[in-house]
Amino acid sequence: MSVTEVINPTTEAVVARVEQTSAEETDIAIARAHRALPAWKALAPGDRARLLRRFAEAVDSDVDNLADLEVRNSGHTIGNARWEAGNVRDVLQYYSAAPERLFGRQIPVPGGVNITFAEPLGVVGVIVPWNFPMPIAGWGFAPALAAGNTVVLKPAELTPLTAIRLGELAREAGIPSGVFQVLPGRGSVVGQRFVDNPLVRKVVFTGSTEVGRQIMAGCAARVKRVTLELGGKNANLVFADADLEKAAATAPYGVFDNAGQDCCARSRILVQRSVFDKFMALLEPAVQGVVVGDPGNEKTEMGPLISASHLASVSSYVDSDTSVAFRGSAPDGPGFWFPPTVVTPRSAADRVVVEEVFGPVVTVQTFADEAEAIQLANDTEYGLSGSIWTENLGRAMRVARGVEAGNLSVNSHSSVRYTTPFGGAKQSGLGRELGPDAALAFTDTKNVFFAS
Ligand code: TAP
């Protein structure tokens, strides 16, 4: 039995030791999930809905504990961590309405009638990254369970604690044995079995584009359904006619939230040239005002990075050649700290402009007009999210239609609302999560002809 030490990124102390699930144990759990299917699927929709609501209530009564675990395991600020636990509750509540709304259709045909049924797929494997352990898990398992599937979930090796607790809460809420199982372990072991074991009928993967490609290839070999939520290099477009004070005051939170470890981080600010100086003058105090420190403190706005190796990776983007405009602060001492950093790159080909840094580093470039703004925003292999700041509604509409990304916000940095679809274009992903159709995406349409 191999055991992983879970490290607190704020103190570098070991907070837990977690047993890793082996490939054989993963197969046993998948077989258990497969055996649990018929009863879960046959449950009256209203009863499945009631169990999901009980699961939501169990999460609600454990929000403070879950949040505390996330602060210690992931270094998330306590305010964010409470929101994240609450998001799992809300997503469960939202999809608890789905079992009773998975309608088929009745289609008139010659000689009889056709009826369609939304049938659950079977066992669904959910693979979660370390940056948002709770919400990303919930966005997968809640609609999958609602549609009558059973779920095996693999948290990231670095951040398994809240997922393990969610598994316990599901059991306490009465979710039947085998219906929702959390399997901590390595991606190359547990995650790979989700891809390779034929009893798993769909893989929901959130993580890097590189691993996503491998998952997609593995699923293609078995004609297995797959949803991919991958990386981002998102633009924050600020036009001269925008409310510049608001755009500058909120820009740090659009990129430095969760220490920039966010696929939706607006890590490329693109400003109309005529207001560049004014915008930078407003941005500097906003960046220096970001409160970086102990994530357990209610006033803290940004905590540490997840690990020593991730700190080394983020640091590699800012060296003595990098043109740093200004920086915020970060504590000394133990912990994987990196200060909020604003870079004015020398070229659009610089690594820091092209690659997903996944840390608190933002580049600022300029554009002349709408056409160049759209061209720069699209000059990336990614297409996940982005923001457009302008007071001109027509421009907002034109630019939103022109930017190739799955989720855009006008005069806001909001990215994910569980009531609306979420997902990426280009190399940012495949398929959509959340929104009113997500439970349906965990079903297959069965078409039955009845001769009259
Ligand atoms: P990855 O290294 O891709 O890991 C993501 C998950 O996949 C982890 O649970 C990992 O397990 C597992 N995994 C690794 N190799 C695997 C394999 N061969 N087969 C199956 N599973 C495997 O990403 P990360 O570094 O944790 O997360 C950061 C990335 O996620 C960023 O690119 C970020 O943009 C992206 N992200 C995207 C979104 C959305 S919604 N689009 C949201 C959050 C994050 P281990 O435990 O072994 O690492």
Question: How large is the average pLDDT for residues 284-313?
Answer: 98
What gap in Å lies between CA 355 and CA 90, rounded to an integer? 33
pLDDT the model gives residue 278 = 98
Question: How large is the average pLDDT for residues 300-318?
Answer: 98
User: What confidence tier does 401 reach under pLDDT thresholds 50, 70, 90?
Assistant: very high
Question: How large is the average pLDDT for residues 310-317?
Answer: 98
pLDDT the model gives residue 74 = 98
Catalytic residue positions, numbered: 229, 263
What gap in Å lies between CA 155 and CA 410, rounded to an integer? 33
Burial of 307 (0-12, 13-18, 19+ CB in 10 A): middle
Question: How large is the average pLDDT for residues 63-85?
Answer: 98
The answer, yes or no, to whether any atom of ligand 1 lies below 6 A from the CB of 204, is no
What atom of ligand 1 comes closest to residue 429's alpha carbon?
A: 41
Q: Is the pLDDT of residue 274 over 90?
A: yes
Question: How large is the average pLDDT for residues 84-113?
Answer: 97
Find residue 367's DSSP bridge partners: 272
What single-letter DSSP state applies at residue 302? B
- The answer to whether 86 and 116 are in contact (CB under 8 A) is no
What gap in Å lies between CA 340 and CA 259, rounded to an integer? 8
What gap in Å lies between CA 189 and CA 267, rounded to an integer? 32
Q: Which residues contact 350 (CB under 8 A, 6 or more apart)?
A: 363
* Mean per-residue pLDDT over the chain, rounded: 97
Whole-angstrom distance between the N-terminal and C-terminal Cα of the chain? 60
**Angle at which helices 161-172 and 63-74 cross, to 10°:** 160
The answer, yes or no, to whether any atom of ligand 1 lies below 6 A from the CB of 211, is yes
What atom of ligand 1 comes closest to residue 416's alpha carbon?
A: 40
SS3 call for 331: coil
Ligand 1 centroid–CA 96 distance in Å is 27
- The answer to whether 388 and 397 are in contact (CB under 8 A) is no
The answer, yes or no, to whether any atom of ligand 1 lies below 6 A from the CB of 129, is yes
What gap in Å lies between CA 336 and CA 263, rounded to an integer? 19
**pLDDT single digits (tens) 5-32:** 999 999 999 999 999 999 999 999 999 9
The answer, yes or no, to whether any atom of ligand 1 lies below 6 A from the CB of 433, is no
Model pTM score: 0.97
The answer, yes or no, to whether any atom of ligand 1 lies below 6 A from the CB of 424, is yes
Query: How does strand 225-229 pair with strand 429-430?
Result: antiparallel
pLDDT the model gives residue 1 = 72
Count of beta carbons in the 10 Å neighbourhood of residue 280? 17
The answer, yes or no, to whether any atom of ligand 1 lies below 6 A from the CB of 186, is yes
- The answer to whether 63 and 90 are in contact (CB under 8 A) is no
Select from 159, 208, 227 the residue to mutate for testing ligand 1; criterion: most ligand atoms less than 8 Å from CB. Answer: 208
Q: Is the pLDDT of residue 314 over 90?
A: yes
Paired tokens of 383: 């297409």
Residue type, 362: V
pLDDT the model gives residue 155 = 98
Tokens 């979420």 belong to 422
Q: Is the pLDDT of residue 344 over 80?
A: yes
Nearest partner of 415 among 180, 241, 258, 223, judged by Cα = 258
pLDDT the model gives residue 417 = 96
Question: How large is the average pLDDT for residues 265-283?
Answer: 98
**pLDDT single digits (tens) 356-382:** 999 999 999 999 999 999 999 999 999
DSSP result, 105-146: -EEEETTEEEEEEEEE-SEEEEE--SSSHHHHHHHHHHHHHH
Select from 230, 313, 357, 422 the residue to mutate for testing ligand 1; criterion: most ligand atoms less than 8 Å from CB. Answer: 230
- Percentage of the chain beyond pLDDT 70 is 100
Ligand 1 centroid–CA 231 distance in Å is 9
Ligand 1 centroid–CA 187 distance in Å is 8
